[in-house]
């Protein structure tokens, strides 16, 4: 079956596909392995985690796009205050995280303390199925979201917990703004920033 790497809007009806794609994409991510250290249950926990934040949070307040093998969640500047978990979502996340909820809370607080204060878009999450990596799925989603941010005249901020991904983001114009070690022997987060570019033809 041919997988199309043309970005399109992700809807609630895509929740099962999105959870499956992101579970595969983040299986080796240092931060997700820190949150969900048990090999036997990690896939199920990741699926619940990604399904929860997508259906309860990002699909309502973010710009969610997908290809047949990759997903990206963006949050425009004007939606930053809304695109946070509500009380019910927090309770669901606590249930998923179990005894790792303290580490998760500390990580969220630490990251939030280092989030830029100036108006910006956020690339909250992007992931591609490892089986389809190298076929342009993630790049297509990056180009699409960055074009929208550029059209709005907005810089973009992201956090990566995987060193191997830094050169990819740098290729798209991001630079490392800050290195943030997570508390409790957590992994390193790299905060990355990209200034807006003038849209082609502007």
The DSSP annotation for 85-108 comes to: --HHHHHHHHHHHGGGHHHHHHHH
The answer to whether position 200 is within a domain reads no
The answer to whether position 132 is within a domain reads yes
The answer to whether position 202 is within a domain reads no
- Are the beta carbons of 175 and 193 closer than 8 angstroms? yes
> 94: which residues sit within 8 A by CB, 6+ positions away?
101
> What pLDDT shows up at residue 14?
97
Query: Which residue range forms the structural domain that includes residue 21?
Result: 8-194
The answer to whether position 199 is within a domain reads no
The answer to whether position 150 is within a domain reads yes
The answer to whether position 3 is within a domain reads no
> What pLDDT shows up at residue 202?
57
C-alpha distance from residue 76 to each of 50, 73, 108, 199 (Å): 20, 10, 19, 17
Per-position pLDDT tens, the chain of length 202: 567 889 999 999 999 999 999 999 999 999 999 999 999 999 999 999 999 999 999 999 999 999 999 999 999 999 998 888 889 999 999 999 999 999 999 999 999 999 999 999 999 999 999 988 888 999 999 999 999 999 999 999 999 999 999 999 999 999 999 999 999 889 999 999 999 998 665 5
> What pLDDT shows up at residue 1?
54
Instruction: Look at the chain and report how many structural domains it folds into.
Output: 1
C-alpha distance from residue 44 to each of 10, 50, 64 (Å): 22, 10, 22
Element (H, E) at 166: helix 166-171
The answer to whether position 161 is within a domain reads yes
CATH number for the domain harbouring residue 163: 3.40.630.30
**pTM metric for this prediction:** 0.93
The answer to whether position 201 is within a domain reads no
């Amino acid at each position: 079956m041919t997988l199309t790497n043309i970005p399109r809007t992700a809807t609630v009806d895509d929740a099962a596909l999105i959870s499956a794609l992101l579970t595969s994409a983040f299986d080796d991510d240092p931060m997700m392995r820190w949150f969900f250290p048990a090999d036997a249950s990690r896939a199920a926990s990741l699926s619940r985690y990604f399904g929860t934040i997508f259906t309860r949070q990002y699909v309502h307040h973010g710009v969610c796009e997908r290809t047949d093998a990759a997903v990206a969640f963006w949050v425009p500047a004007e939606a930053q205050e809304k695109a946070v978990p509500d009380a019910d979502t927090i309770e669901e996340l606590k249930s998923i995280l179990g005894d790792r909820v303290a580490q998760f809370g500390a990580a969220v607080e630490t990251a939030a303390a280092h989030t830029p204060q100036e108006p910006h878009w956020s690339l909250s999450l992007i992931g591609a199925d490892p089986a389809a990596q190298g076929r342009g799925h993630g790049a297509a989603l990056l180009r699409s979201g960055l074009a929208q941010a550029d059209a709005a005249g907005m810089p973009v901020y992201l956090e990566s917990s995987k060193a191997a991904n830094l050169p990819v983001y740098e290729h798209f114009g991001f630079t490392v703004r800050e290195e943030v070690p997570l508390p409790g022997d957590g992994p390193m987060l790299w905060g990355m920033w990209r200034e807006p570019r003038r849209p082609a033809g502007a």
